[in-house]
Structure 1
Amino acid sequence: MRGDAEQHPINDNELVILSQHVLDSLQLNLQDVLKVVQSAFTGLRQGSDNPQKTIVQPPEQQSISYSMVGRDSISQTVGFKVVYEFDPYRKFNNYNFLSFIFLCDDQTGRPIALMDVVKLGPLRTAASSALFARAACPEAKRALVVGTGAQGQMALPLLVAAMPQLQTLQIYGHYEAGIQAAQHNLKQYFPDRNIEVVQSLEQAAGQADIIIGVAGASAREQVRHQWMKPGSVAILVGYGIDADVFQQADCLITTDIEQMKVTCHDLLAADGVMPPVHAELPDILTGQKQARNHEQDIVFAYNSGMVVTDIALGRYLADQAVLQSDLGQRVQLW
């Protein structure tokens, strides 16, 4: 561990196990989360490594599995992430999601932690969306989240942390418990802010400066390009934004071009040709490129998960777990 975490030294043959319950109990500063994720992206231009993921999916599509390895040069941390998702398209009414990440300190060679990613994933994804939004639409006043699952429940707190000038926060979805969780999460960090639940997706999308699509594969309705106003940005994480926005946007930006090529096939037009990419997020954050060409451009941002952000944020969470009452279970695995 780094810094003050050394007050709870970990032996060479010990591994800290951080469960979902432990991670949920952490007191986090969202500004720190944003800084850690931003540093992970800029680190991709400073020696970090983020190879493409390895994906396995049977023809029947009853599951999807993938693994990723990467290295964050800023925190000197190596990570191995594994994901198994059963019934991803909700065909069998038996959905299950299992995942973990294993972190090692690349300065000392010691293991850091093995942790659940149920909290980690939505945090780093929401932070990435917030960085996209702030870069593409810095003067935004209205934000709309499409989807009320785990990603939708954390999208607005990180967005407000990055863009406190936002005045109207809206959410569209049909999962009542998810809507309540989104309200709770926002209140936890911003007690004076409220989320408006919208009934007309078309009307809300037509007024929004920022639209974040985080719905699941079974999304009933999606934002269309013709609904969006000039100067707005649509950020796609899962579903909830139609492929015609990807195809017709004035500017297409992404976290990583090569990774997008692997995962964006459902967004391509009939000819299979991918629109030209204007910029990648690391170059936008380092000031090498702009998020848009013109003020009135409609921007589509493709937010694909980058394991280097999981690693950097996982390192931060692991450090916080040790600092906050030395949480986690230590096991002698080797």
Structure 2
Amino acid sequence: MNARPTPLRVLSRSDLADVPIGPAEVIRAVEEAYLALAAGDSDNPRKLSVAHPDGWSVAYAMLGRDGHRRVVAMKTSYKFDPHHDRSTKRYYTTITLYDDATGMPVAMMDCARVGALRTPAVSALLVRETARPGARSVLLIGTGTQGRNALPHLLAANPQLERLMLYGTHPEGLDAVNRELLHHHPRAELEIVDDPVAAARTADVILATAGPGTKVAIEAEDLQPGATVVLVGYGLAPSTLTAADRVIATSAEQMSLTGTDMAGPDGRLRRVDAELPQILSRRAVGRLGEDERIFVYNSGLVLTDIAVAHALATRAIEQGRGTEVPLWD
């Protein structure tokens, strides 16, 4: 038994909402996590899941060890969505961090902001490693949480992108994307497009972050030579994968689990040519030729959640945020 009680710091969504952290720092933390995994210093086992047989709910549990930060963490998520209606949907996700150097708990925290920052940072790295030389234009599809955070992170890693196009159907979402962009890049100009297919034909990079209700489905024939398409949510048709010259993923295993809706006419999912951790560690390459059309699948690894969560928790605790709970008294 411990000689003294070990409190647990609980950090709520509001505790974390305005903790300062910039896109470049998030990208650096995520890249460090991938490099540690590629070097064999970290562990990222396959996630566990359970689902209601009628599709009412789904839950995941993910365990990881970040050897770079010496942190062990467990992430859980639960989605209740019986009617596929925003008014009744419930989604909860948490992560609990432990210091693997001292054996002490760091924090248990809401994971909403972690995911909102981690995913666009991963997309930014994927584009950095796969965009053709001379790439200048990007089309962003979707104005939800991921869409709103996409461009600041993308530009932090790819400052050469200068034509920024956005397609969305919600005016408040379009405004939110523009506000977030200008917060980080006051001189940036955002071009709102009405025809996503026409815009796709001129884009070097396409980021598909729309929700499942989108009617947009960019086809392979809509892509120019050398284009990179990144699937985060929805907005791309399966042909962009099946007809791609090269396929990159954060994790081939995760893509095989969660990317089944992108299978070809034969019901099979195209194999992955290279994974991001190996590309970042220079054991593989993202692009082989300038005219290759590259399909990129961005799925989450808990190690990237750990990296961003640890950065946010460290700052929040330094600022005295959160509530200490004597859970193990």
- Look up the equivalent residue of 2:95 and give its one-letter code: I
CA apart distance, 1:237: 1.0
After superposition, residues 107-186 of structure 1 pair within 5 angstroms as 107-137=101-131, 139-186=134-181
Distance of 2:83 and 2:308 partners within structure 1: 28
Is contact 2:207–2:230 with CA below 8 Å preserved after alignment? Answer: yes
CA apart distance, 1:51: 1.2
| Cα RMSD after superposing both structures | 1.6
CA apart distance, 1:147: 1.1
Is contact 2:114–2:309 with CA below 8 Å preserved after alignment? Answer: yes
Partner of 2:46: 52
The gaps in structure 1 that reach 5 residues or longer are: 1-10
Partner of 2:217: 222
CA apart distance, 1:276: 2.8
- Say yes or no: does 1:106 pair with 2:106: no
Partner of 2:13: 20
TM-aligned CA distance change 1:92 to 1:124, over 3 Å: closer
Work out the percentage of aligned pairs sharing the same amino acid: 38
After superposition, residues 1-334 of structure 1 pair within 5 angstroms as 13-46=6-39, 47-87=41-81, 90-91=84-85, 93-137=87-131, 139-323=134-318, 325-334=319-328
CA apart distance, 1:119: 0.9
The gaps in structure 2 that reach 5 residues or longer are: none
Moved over 6 A (4+): none
Distance of 1:105 and 1:12 partners within structure 2: 16
CA apart distance, 1:300: 0.4
Q: Bigger CA drift: 279-288 or 14-23?
A: 14-23
CA deviations 1:165-205 (Å, max 9, x no partner) are 21111221112222222112112212221322211010111
Is contact 2:227–2:292 with CA below 8 Å preserved after alignment? Answer: yes
CA apart distance, 1:100: 0.7
CA apart distance, 1:92: 7.6
Q: Number of aligned pairs?
A: 323
CA apart distance, 1:62: 2.0
TM-aligned CA distance change 1:135 to 1:89, over 3 Å: farther
Is contact 1:80–1:101 with CA below 8 Å preserved after alignment? Answer: yes
Distance of 2:296 and 2:45 partners within structure 1: 20
CA deviations 1:85-133 (Å, max 9, x no partner) are 1228825852221111111111111111111111110210000000000
CA apart distance, 1:139: 3.5
Q: Secondary structure at the match of 2:112?
A: coil
CA apart distance, 1:59: 2.7
Is contact 1:133–1:233 with CA below 8 Å preserved after alignment? Answer: yes
Distance of 1:59 and 1:182 partners within structure 2: 37
Is contact 1:143–1:169 with CA below 8 Å preserved after alignment? Answer: yes
CA deviations 1:222-269 (Å, max 9, x no partner) are 111111111110011111111110111000010111121111211111
TM-aligned CA distance change 1:89 to 1:317, over 3 Å: farther
